[in-house]
């Protein structure tokens, strides 16, 4: 029972590089979410997808794009990485119940 799987687990980028973070869930959940977690800031919602074919901005969407590829997969793209995007990124999924989280992608931008 994999739940929510995120790849990669770690990544180091240089400023200006692009990167796509992948997320897949096998629980047949309709909704998927991307968060970032920074020390002292808690979890902040970047984007979410309430259902396949829809995406909406969260609290901190600037500098990110998302794609809901199908019901299982929701990717997060950084087009031109900036040091301020150094963070731990979590993907989550749900269906009218509390969210299930993946184990995160630790991203460092130099």
Partner 1 sequence: QKEVEQDPGPLSVPEGAIVSLNCTYSNSAFQYFMWYRQYSRKGPELLMYTYSSGNKEDGRFTAQVDKSSKYISLFIRDSQPSDSATYLCAMKGPGGSYIPTFGRGTSLIVHP
Among 81, 90, 107, 109, binds partner 1 (CB under 8 A): 90
> Within 14-73, which residues bind partner 1 (CB under 8 A)?
31, 33, 40-43, 45, 48, 50, 58
3-state secondary structure string, 74-106?
EEEEECCCCHHHCEEEEEEEECCCCCEECCCEE
- Judged by CB, which is closer to partner 1: 26, or 79? 26
* CB 15, min distance to partner 1, A: 25
99 in contact with partner 1 (CB under 8 A) = yes
Among residues 26, 27, 72, the alpha carbon closest in space to that of 49 is found at 72
């Amino acid at each position: 029972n994999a739940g929510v799987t995120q790849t990669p687990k770690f990544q180091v980028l240089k400023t200006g590089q692009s990167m796509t973070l992948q997320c897949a869930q096998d629980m047949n959940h309709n909704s998927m979410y991307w968060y970032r977690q920074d020390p002292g800031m808690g979890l902040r919602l970047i984007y979410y997808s309430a259902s396949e074919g829809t995406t909406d901005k969260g609290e901190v969407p600037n500098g990110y794009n998302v794609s809901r590829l199908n019901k299982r997969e929701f990717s997060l793209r950084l087009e031109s990485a900036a040091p301020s995007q150094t963070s731990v990124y979590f993907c989550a999924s749900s269906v009218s119940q509390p969210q299930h989280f993946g184990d995160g992608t630790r991203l460092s931008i130099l």
